[in-house]
Amino acid sequence: MSDTTTSPRGGTAAAPLFEAEGLCVTFPGRGRGPGRATTVDALRGVDLAWAEGEVLGLVGASGSGKSTLGRTLMGLQQPSSGAVRFRGEALTGPRDRAFRRRVQMVFQDPYQSLNPRRTVGAQVLEGLDVHGIGAPGQERTALAVAAMERCGLAPVERYWHRYPHQLSGGQRQRVVIAAAVALGPQALICDEPVSALDVSIRSQVLGLLAELRREEGIGLLFITHDVGLAWALCDRVAVLHHGELVECGGVEEVLGSPRHAYTRELLAAVPAPHG
């Protein structure tokens, strides 16, 4: 067991769960005139370490490369150059099943992860089936039920037979998180997980994520354009600007006394969190 739960805000007590080294992602872009090919450098040599059990915020304006970085760690996007390591091992190409059990992705729009034609219960069970977790039947169902309860979908009977369109946005996001949690993940890559939710629901879902970290030791990469949310939830924060990592460190250090002009600009739009 690691002792990451005791790592202080801004500390780096544990060995990195993920490391990005010199990570570059270039997309083909559209030229301005006929035959003019351009490219978009979505990530430009990003070096970043994310410790086990840590809540690492990834902030930056729209188009700064946040989602691209999350997708590249997840293996949904191939880097043009540079390396991604998971627990010290270099990852290339599509991720294997063991990785997909350990690291799950939560998107802004839960519909992106949910099948509109399958019930909630069936979808939480599906991952357990795929990964062969628990004996088929009662034991597997009990694991799915426990994950749903853990994620605030209780009483479970009320939700089990519903379809995604019969739930609120917050409940749908809880189903996505429950399906992930059922597999016993080490880390969740959350890409704007509460941006589509209204404010009261937003804090409940954030509370759930914070609890999962505190009680289950699940690390979070929390991607957000909302610096205030990062301040409230994260241990460390990394600031992306036009695909470059301009600042990274403890949340108080980076957001409390930002060194980079761009970080100050992001903060200018946010009301002070303390007081």
Ligand X SMILES: Nc1ncnc2c1ncn2[C@@H]1O[C@H](COP(=O)(O)OP(=O)(O)OP(=O)(O)O)[C@@H](O)[C@H]1O
Which segment (10-18, 65-73, 129-137, 229-237) binds ligand X by CB under 6 A?
A: 65-73
3-state secondary structure the chain: CCCHHHCCCCCCCCCEEEEEEEEEEEEEECCCCCCCCEEEEEEEEEEEEEECCCEEEEECCCCCCHHHHHHHHHCCCCCCEEEEEECCEEECCCCCHHHHHHEEEECCCHHHCCCCCCCHHHHHHHHHHHHCCCCCCHHHHHHHHHHHHHCCCCCCHHHHCCCHHHCCHHHHHHHHHHHHHCCCCCEEEEECCCCCCCHHHHHHHHHHHHHHHHHHCCEEEEEECCHHHHHHHCCEEEEEECCEEEEEEEHHHHHHCCCCHHHHHHHHCCCCCCC
CB of 39 to ligand X, least distance (A): 9
- Each residue 33-72 as x (binds Mg ion by CB under 5 A) or -, in order, gives ----------------------------------x-----
66 forms part of the interface with ligand X (CB under 6 A)? yes
CB of 124 to ligand X, least distance (A): 27
CB of 66 to Mg ion, least distance (A): 5
Which segment (64-72, 87-95, 133-141, 176-184) binds ligand X by CB under 6 A?
A: 64-72
45 forms part of the interface with ligand X (CB under 6 A)? no
Number of residues that bind ligand X (CB under 6 A): 12
CB of 69 to ligand X, least distance (A): 7
Which segment (55-63, 138-146, 164-172, 251-259) binds ligand X by CB under 6 A?
A: 55-63
Question: Judged by CB under 6 A, which of 68, 104, 173, 186 binds ligand X?
Answer: 68
Question: Judged by CB under 6 A, which of 4, 7, 67, 173 binds ligand X?
Answer: 67
263 forms part of the interface with Mg ion (CB under 5 A)? no
What does the alpha-carbon distance between residue 114 and residue 272 come to, in Å, rounded to a whole number?
Answer: 36
Q: Which residues bind ligand X (CB under 6 A)?
A: 27, 40, 42, 60, 62-68, 225
Q: Which residues bind Mg ion (CB under 5 A)?
A: 67
